[in-house]
Structure 1
């Protein structure tokens, strides 16, 4: 299937590693030009060196929690490419707490997992509206509350905000969707949650119906499709990529 992405301009946050890197690579393989945002310039440079020349990567060393980052990013992308067709809000992270959690963790998690992506989208949307085309995909996380996790509330906030945004922007040719990953192989999962192969196999055997922990590309292929013109009738959705791990039916 031709996803009709050749020449589209995609901005991916948290693009230097893990899920963001996989998503950006797959978009490049489909012909997108890329704006890659992450805090670590050396990681961005290493990644950019692996991409096809057609991606024309623009490297943006930014911290998305800086309230001024969204406007700087928008201006840089439009100055280089003249447009921004796709935004993948990938930067974020889980914040499990052993007790109720300190105030600063809750504030930091809401800033990282909700406000940063909201600001980025609000900055980019006028350019999408001008072209009557846009794709916004938010990589979120579970809002199923197993334990106290400061990321659950902003994940839920993104899902509600994105649904409202999808209703407002649909007639502008802009779709807005959210993709919560389960435990996929990533820097965060491997380093902080399931650091050994034995731990990963044990957890998957108990918790994942398909019996294994997914790879970043398992999420990336869905995101790439949602970013394409082919996905024009899919908007306002929350699509889980978790091997069936979550227990609710919607």
Structure 2
């Protein structure tokens, strides 16, 4: 399917590894001119080289901390200076934050800064140019809405879902769509190194929870992002679309 994305511009946060890197690869394959951002420059440069080696245009590397307000604005400014106005923003930065009942305010503030506020700030920074051009795509990567224990990131991602739904109503008439993807278990640094560090634990979790029978790959998220970013998805907005191999806790 031709997605008609060639020549569009995109900014992908959290792109040094995992889902963000997979999204950047797929968008670049579709002919999108991509800027990638995260804190780890070495990993961003490796990704840019890998993408260039496939024959796609090498992404622009912009390092920064999206949880810092000034950095979020600077990241968008540098990406725009290099590529022109941003057509597609993919908010991938995030991370699980298992939390105790008596966790300090600082723990909650950090979880919200990474998993909600960063996406809001980046979006606010790109929206004026999108509204001026009457076209734009915002895609947020969130998390499970069926937590099994207290996790500050889950609360932040719930805020992300409802913020995105409300925003989608406000900007729809400007030709801008806002959608959210909650991923299931995706083969990434966080999942393989922290949640399921052994092959035995991965197999046990799959047997209990994932009907399709395996963990997904970052590119599985990237393919949906590319479609939602395309002109073909113009009538999809305010949606929350899981990519999880059927992994719905408590469904069975």
Scaled to the shorter chain, the TM-score interval is: over 0.9
Q: Which residue of 1 aligns with 2:208?
A: 206
Q: Secondary structure at the match of 2:50?
A: coil
Distance 1:28 1:162 in 2: 25
Q: Which residue of 2 aligns with 1:141?
A: 143
Q: Secondary structure at the match of 2:215?
A: coil
Q: Secondary structure at the match of 1:51?
A: helix
Distance 1:215 1:83 in 2: 30
Q: Secondary structure at the match of 1:136?
A: strand
Q: Which residue of 1 aligns with 2:111?
A: 109
Distance 1:237 1:34 in 2: 24
Is 1:14 the equivalent of 2:14? yes
Distance 1:162 1:89 in 2: 11
- Where in structure 1 do 4 or more consecutive aligned residues deviate above 4 Å? none
TM-score (norm 2): 0.95
2:162 to 150, 160, 169: 160
Is 1:33 the equivalent of 2:33? yes
Aligned residues: 249
Moved more, 145-154 or 48-57: 48-57
Quote the offset at 1:205 in angstroms: 0.3
TM-score (norm 1): 0.95
Q: Which residue of 1 aligns with 2:3?
A: 3
Quote the offset at 1:56 in angstroms: 4.3
Quote the offset at 1:99 in angstroms: 4.5
Q: Which residue of 2 aligns with 1:131?
A: 133
Is the Cα contact below 8 Å between 1:176 and 1:237 reproduced in 2? Answer: yes
Distance 1:58 1:94 in 2: 27
Is the Cα contact below 8 Å between 1:12 and 1:87 reproduced in 2? Answer: yes
Distance 2:204 2:102 in 1: 28
Quote the offset at 1:103 in angstroms: 2.5
Is the Cα contact below 8 Å between 1:162 and 1:178 reproduced in 2? Answer: yes
Quote the offset at 1:101 in angstroms: 2.9
Distance 1:29 1:209 in 2: 30
Is the Cα contact below 8 Å between 2:26 and 2:223 reproduced in 1? Answer: yes
The structure-2 alpha-carbon separation of the partners of 1:195 and 1:247, relative to structure 1 and needing over 3 Å to count, comes to closer
Quote the offset at 1:212 in angstroms: 1.6
Q: Secondary structure at the match of 1:55?
A: coil
Give the gaps of 5 or more residues in structure 2.
none
Q: Secondary structure at the match of 1:88?
A: strand
Give the gaps of 5 or more residues in structure 1.
none
Quote the offset at 1:145 in angstroms: 3.1
Is the Cα contact below 8 Å between 1:100 and 1:148 reproduced in 2? Answer: no
Is 1:24 the equivalent of 2:24? yes
1:46-96 deviations in Å (ceiling 9; x for gaps): 111112365342111101111112211221122112210000000001111
2:179 to 165, 177, 180: 177
1:65 to 50, 64, 67: 67
